[in-house]
Amino acid sequence: MTKLLEARGLTAFYGDFQALFGIDLSVDIGETLAIIGANGAGKSTFLRTITGLRPARGQDIRFDGKQIAGLAPEHIHRMGLSMVPEGRRLFPSLSVEDNLLIGASGGRTGQWTLDEVLKLFPALTERRHHGGAELSGGQQQMVAIGRALMSNPKLLLCDEISLGLAPKVVREIYAAIPLIRERGTALVVIEQDIQQALKVADRVYCFQEGRVTLSGTPSDLSLAQIKQAYFGTEVA
Amino acid sequence: MDILNLLIQGTLLGGLYALFAAGLALMFGVMRFINIAHGDFIVVSAYLLLVAVLTLGLHPLVGIALVTGLMAGAGYLGQRVLLNRVLDEDILPPVLVTFGLSIILQNALMEGFSADSQRVPAGGFDTASLSLGSEIAIGLLPLSMFLAAIGVLGVLHWIFFHTHLGRLLRATADDAAIVPLMGASNAHTFALATGIASAVVAIAGTMLAMKTNFDPTIGPSRLLFAFEAVIIGGLGNIWGVLAGGIILGVAQAIGAQIDAGFQILAGHIAFLVVLALRPRGLFAKS
C-alpha cells in the first residue's frame, strides 16, 4: 500500500533535552492510526515536528511522496496535512462560524465546506454566531476538528481530542471519526485512553520516552504487551 | 456659543488624531508591535505630498492617492523585509529598531528638505469655511479631515468584520502561533497589517500637511498624540480611537482657549485623567 506519511529516524530537542530518539512511523492512505503513551512520551512533539511547528530541517519526513522536513507550517498545511492542536486553541474573539471559515485559509477546496462541517456536528449550527468561549468543552472540540477539516486534509492529526471531556461527550466526538474516514481522510489520533484508541484505530503505535516501543494492529496486541510498552515495566 | 464652537473645532481636530492613532492601534493589536517611528512615518507622508504637489505639480487629491499607495507598499515591504525579523515574544527589539528608524528618518528629512517649516497649499480649500449662524464657522479642511477619519475607520471596520483578511487579522491578534496551522503565513499577514496601517498613516500625514506647518522634527509629538488617543479610547476597539481622538482634540481646544501655551498640556492632562480613572481606556474590549 502507498504511504501517505513516512517519517524516518525523527529526532527532536528542547535545548539539551532530547525529546524524540529516532521515530520511524508511517501512515497509509485512508488509514487511522492511534499513538498512545504517557505524558512526556513525545507524542505531541512528534506531531509538532511533522506539521512544521517545530524545526525539522535536515530530517526525513515524506508526505504524499514529497519531502516536507523544514518547510513552513503553512506550506505543509496547504499540501493537505492539518492538525487539531492540543487544548483546542480556538480563536476567542472569533465566532464559531469564523473559527471554522479560517480553517480554509490555505485555499484547499473539496468535500468539506461550512455546511458539511455543520452537518457533521449539528450541535454547532445554532451556535454558529456565538463566540468560541461560550461553548461547552465538547462543542469547542467539535469546532477545532471542524476547523481542521475545512482545509480538506488528506491527513488529519488529532492531538488529545478527548482530554478533559466527559465520557459521553468523548463518545459523541469519536462518533464523527468514521464519518471523516469514509471520505477518504487518513487520521492520526493521539489518545491517552487506550481502550478508545484500540477501538478507533487500524494500527496503534505506543511511544515511551521518545521511542516507539510497540506497534501493530489492535487485534495483534495484548493488553499486557501494551502496558509493558506504555509504562516500560512488567505489570503483574 | 463659545463652548459649542470649541466643541466643534475640538471634535474636528479629533478626527485627525483618530487617523494618527488608527495605524498605531492596528499594528499593536494584530502583532503587539509598538512602532516608535509611527509619527515620523506620518511626517514622511506629509513630505511625500509636498513633493507630489509642489515638485510634480499634481492635484492634492491625486497626490494623496499616490502617497497612500506608496506608503502601503512600503509598509508591506518594510514589515516583510525588516520588521518581521525583530518580531518575537520579546516586545523590546521592535521598539529599539523603530526608535532607530525614527532618528534615521528625521535626519534624512532634515538633509533632504532642511529644517524649514513647510505646508502644502490645498488651493483655497484649506481656508474655505461653512458658516453656521453668525459665530460658528466650520473649516472645510477640518470637516473633510473628520469625514475622512470616519470613512477610514468605517473601511477598517468593514475589513475587520466582513472580509477573510479581517478574520485572519483578528485570529492573528488572538493567537498568532497557530495561524500557520490554518494555512496562512504569519509573515504575509503581519506585512498586510502594516501595509494597511501605513495607508492610514499616509492619509493622516497628507491631511496634516495641508492643515498645519510641519518640519522634520514633529514626528515624536504626533506619536504621542496617537498613543494618547489609543489609550484613552481603549485597545481592541476600532471606534475607540475616534472617541480618544475627539477627547484629546476637545481638551486641546479648550486648553488653547484658556491660554495658547496651554493647548498641548490640556490634552496631556485629559489623557492622565482618563488613565487614572479608567486605566484600560474608555471602550476597551474586555
pLDDT digits 0-9 by tens, B157-201 = 999 999 999 999 999 999 999 999 999 999 999 999 999 999 999
Helix (H/G/I), strand (E/B), else coil: A15: coil
Cell representation of residue B111: 538633509
Residue A111 lies in a domain: yes
Nearest to B237 by CA among B71, B79, B29, B8: B29
Indicate which CATH number applies to the domain containing A57.
3.40.50.300
Evaluate if residue B221 carries a pLDDT over 90: yes
- How sure is the predictor about B147, in pLDDT bands with cuts at 50, 70 and 90? very high
Read off the pTM. 0.91
Query: Given A72, A92, A105, which is nearest B182 (Cβ)?
Result: A105
Whole-number Å distance between alpha carbons of A94 and B179: 13
Residues 6+ away with beta carbon under 8 Å from B231: B244, B271, B274, B275, B281
Q: What is the pLDDT of residue A53?
A: 93
Interface touch B168/A94, C-beta < 8 Å: no
Q: State how far residue B188 is from chain A, nearest Cα, in angstroms.
A: 11
Mean pLDDT of chain B: 93
Choose among A72, A147, A148: nearest Cβ to B180: A72
SS3 A213: strand
Residue A182 lies in a domain: yes
A235 falls within a domain: no
pLDDT at residue number B132: 79
As a whole number, mean pLDDT of residues B4-32 equals 93
Instruction: Give which of A142, A33, A37, A49 is closest to A88, Cα–Cα.
Output: A142
Residue showing cell 530530517 = A59
| Mean pLDDT to the nearest integer, B38-53 | 97
> Stretch B39-63: mean pLDDT, rounded?
96
To test the contact with chain A by mutation, choose from B30, B162, B179, B181 the residue with the greatest count of A C-beta atoms within 10 A, namely B181
Domain residue limits, chain B: 2-114+136-277
B237 pLDDT band (50/70/90 cuts)?
A: confident
- The residue ranges of chain A whose pLDDT is under 70 are 1, 233-236
- How far off is chain A from B172, nearest CA to CA, in Å? 9
Picking from A51, A83, A93, the nearest residue to B170 by CB comes out as A93
Three-state SS for B211? helix
Paired sense of beta strands A155-159 and A186-190, if any? parallel
**Is A236 contained in some domain?**
no
Mean pLDDT of chain A: 92
Domain count, chain A: 1
This complex has an ipTM of 0.90
Domain that holds residue A155: 3-230
* Mean pLDDT of all residues in B12-30: 94
Q: Residue A168 corresponds to which cell in the numbers above? A: 459521553
What is the structure's pLDDT at B285? 66
A→B contacts (Cβ < 8 Å), by residue, are: 51-53, 72-74, 77-78, 82-83, 85, 89, 91-94, 98, 101-108, 147-148, 151
* Average pLDDT of the residues in B144-159: 96
Q: Which residue has the higher pLDDT, B122 or B26?
A: B26
Tens-place pLDDT, residues A125-166:
999 999 887 899 999 999 999 999 999 999 999 999 988 899
- DSSP β-bridge partners for residue A208: A211
The distance of B177 to chain A (nearest Cα, Å) reads: 9
